[in-house]
Amino acid sequence: MTVASPNFAGLRVAAFESRRADDMTRLLEKAGAIARVSPSMREVPLEGNRAAIDFANLVISGQIEIVVLMTGVGVRNLLAAIDRHVDRQRFLDALSDVTTLARGPKPVAVLRELGLKPTLVAPEPNTWREVLSTLDKSAPVANRDVAVQEFGVPSVGLVAGLEARGARVTTVRVYQWELPEDLGPLEENLREIAAGRIDVAMFTSSPQVHNLLTVAGRMGIEPEVRAAFERIVIASIGPSTTETLRELNFHVDLEPEHSKMGHLVQAAAAQSAALVQEKRRSIFPARPASYSGEASAAASAATLSSPAGDDELRNSLFLRACRREPVERTPIWLMRQAGRYMGEYRSVRANVSFLELCKRPELCAEVMITAVNRLGVDAAIIFADILPILEPLGFELEFAKDEGPVIHNPVRQAADVDRVRELESIDALAFVPETVRQTRAGLPARIPVIGFAGAPFTLASYAIEGGGSRNFLNAKSLMYRDEGAWNALLGKFARAITLYLKAQIAAGAQAVQLFDSWVGCLGPQDYRRYVLPHTQAIIDALPADVPVIHFGAGNPALLPALAEAGGSVLGIDWRVRLDDAWRAVGYDRAVQGNLDPLVLFAEPDEIRRRARGVLDQVGGRPGHIFNLGHGIDKRTPVEHVIALVQAVQEMSQTS
């Protein structure tokens, strides 16, 4: 009995492979596709490449200890660049004497042709992360001279990772990526995509995605192309390409087990027919045509524009408490109310990484709506994270397993601040406003939606430290050493956060929270000098009728200064009594908090007693929103969280 090979069964497949365009066409046609392969890029050697010649001389003179070869075409172009300037055999002999690491099979094949065998080979999926992990295991780079033969664009994450490990890094760029000389086939493919005449799109490198959008923009059809991709199965060759697609707000439907072109075609042939049907039945709901803007915003506005909906939201317990109006009972919601302590959340997370989840609005909405319904809380904060905003600013963000967030290219000195980009638009973060819209659409009108962002100091702490920190040595060092660079960095963050929160409000958030989770490491004097002006600038720039919850954790002595920075509601952590905190910030604003999250590990009777203690400290004064003093711990029994919500709602009822 013969087993049928995977078959596209006549699906129309667009691919953008350049160097192996003919091979891609043959593979697709053999697998039963109607192939439309249009080269989307070309590799152009750098002319008069003095840096390559200097690198070769460094290798020959023994001044380089480790050489990382990223691409096969790069090795060929490197040799071509040094010919006529350096003796080839002498260079190859010197290269054979140092540690060489090949990033995958293509540089290995070229080295074999040259009679060389690499010392190390990075395993699949052959990203720069595998390069670093291979070096960590077999050739630690601390205090060593490492050279990197780069792609057509700099490998910022790899270089930052090497430098963070103590390496002295020399980069060698030997070619650049440019658009094809003949754009006709790519333009024709884009017209077919925009017209809805393509079923599957296959990407074999990250530059293909950027170039496709560049050409679509020049043709004036980028919105139509983006909208069409909602109904097209998108196949990516591997993690780096997938990451680029997701950063640009494309939903990747499949990725092969091995990052090779043949495996990609085989996987797509096996799965595409079913995936096409699913997408067109909207099992994966299509985002609105204008994912980053107007159509979705208009739809949200229409949903919320009915008088009944507006009145019910405005009169919700949460928003009335934000305005310090009397309420029938105290509203309650909880930080991290959709999280790992809930089985429903863990089921979703089992299939996606944390960062992928944050970039999938339909899943973000699902986990928050599920939490609201199960817990019975009075408001829904969107499911997101404070750190993805750093990516369009130029930071390499990873959520490493068991390590938390890692910034691979941290800011460590004044010169690094210059490479932090200004956020000109939120297009690269459009998944967050879309999460607001989908969460808002899935909740009753009586449940407000809260957007949020990290505050400038907390973002700066992550960006400078490269992750979490116990003492914030690097952040404080830059702050004290170069106040000008510090203010420049926080100014960029403040402008980005303002744009980001305004987009969430426009998408349907009724309130926003500013999280300053790490600011407690500062004293009041330093806070007022180095942080307050930047946070105040954000709050002052937001619409006056939208409540802003300003939450700074870790140091009750900061509360008066936090109040000076602004916020119609001050979030209070558990390290201070609520009545003392309210007195410190002033009774002209509402407060939120402040039960110790670990009280939820006590028995329900003790949870109830502790909640009663917080409510008693309010003293009947309007303007209190019950919350924890920080987020729910992942080990918390979900039944205890429900017990807290029910206890607060019962005990705070007014007669």
Taking all residues of the chain, what is their mean pLDDT, rounded to a whole number? 90
Q: Tell me the mean pLDDT in the region 20-32.
A: 95
**pLDDT (tens digit per residue) in 400-420:** 776 689 999 999 999 999 999
CATH of domain 44-178: 3.40.50.10090
Q: Which one from 165, 349, 446, 612 is the annotated catalytic residue? A: 349
Q: Is 378 an active-site residue?
A: no
Catalytic (active site) residue 340: yes
Residue range 620-649, pLDDT digits in tens = 899 999 999 999 999 999 999 999 999 999
What average pLDDT does range 326-345 have in this prediction?
95
> By C-alpha distance, which of 584, 578, 545 is closest to 563?
584
Kindly report the CATH class assigned to 12-41+182-280.
alpha beta
Q: Place 4 in a pLDDT band, splitting at 50, 70 and 90.
A: low
Residue 291 has pLDDT above 70, yes or no: no
Question: If pLDDT is split at 50, 70 and 90, which confidence band does 525 have?
Answer: very high
CA distance 653 to 109: 74
Is-same-fold flag (12-41+182-280; 44-178)?
A: yes
Among 336, 412, 589, 608, the one annotated catalytic: 336
pLDDT of residue 12: 95
Can you tell me the mean pLDDT for 470-474? 92
Query: Which of 178-184's residues contact partners 24+ apart within 8 Å by CB, and which partners?
Result: 178/41, 178/42, 178/44, 179/40, 179/41, 179/42, 179/211, 179/214, 179/215, 180/18, 180/39, 180/40, 180/41, 180/42, 181/42, 183/215
Give the residue extent of every domain in the chain.
Answer: 12-41+182-280, 44-178, 319-651
- Please state which of the four CATH numbers 3.20.20.210, 3.90.1010.10, 3.40.50.720, 3.20.20.450 is assigned to the domain occupying 319-651: 3.20.20.210
Task: Give the gyration radius of the chain's Cα atoms.
Answer: 27
Q: What is the pLDDT of residues 39-67, one digit of tens each?
A: 999 888 888 889 999 999 999 999 999 99
Residue 254 gets which letter from DSSP? B
* Catalytic status, residue 349: yes
164 pLDDT higher than 80 = no
Report the pLDDT averaged over residues 75-79. Answer: 93
Q: What are the tokens at 485? A: 């660079």
User: Span 88-92, mean pLDDT?
Assistant: 95
The whole-number pLDDT of residue 429 equals 96
pLDDT of residue 63: 96
Q: What local confidence, expressed as pLDDT, does residue 290 receive?
A: 34
Distance CA 318, CA 329 (A): 10
Average pLDDT over residues 567-579: 97
Gap between the Cα atoms of 507 and 440, Å rounded: 9
CB-based contact 467:405 (threshold 8 Å): yes
pLDDT-derived band at 334, boundaries 50, 70, 90: very high
Task: Kindly state the average pLDDT of the residues 266-271.
Answer: 94
Active site residue 385: yes
- Token pair 């650049």 is found at 176
As a whole number, mean pLDDT of residues 278-293 equals: 46
Q: Give the model's confidence band at 296: pLDDT under 50 very low, under 70 low, under 90 confident, else very high.
A: very low
pLDDT of residue 581 exceeding 60: yes
pLDDT winner (highest mean) among 123-127, 399-403, 588-592: 588-592
Mean pLDDT of the region 96-102: 96
- Out of 385, 416, 516, 526, the active site residue is 385
Q: Which of 291, 462, 527, 530 is catalytic?
A: 462
List alpha helices for 139-202, DSSP H.
Answer: 156-164, 184-194
- The per-residue pLDDT for 292 is 38
Residue 462 annotated in active site: yes
Q: Which residue among the candidates 340, 374, 446, 528 is catalytic per the annotation? A: 340
pLDDT of residue 403: 66
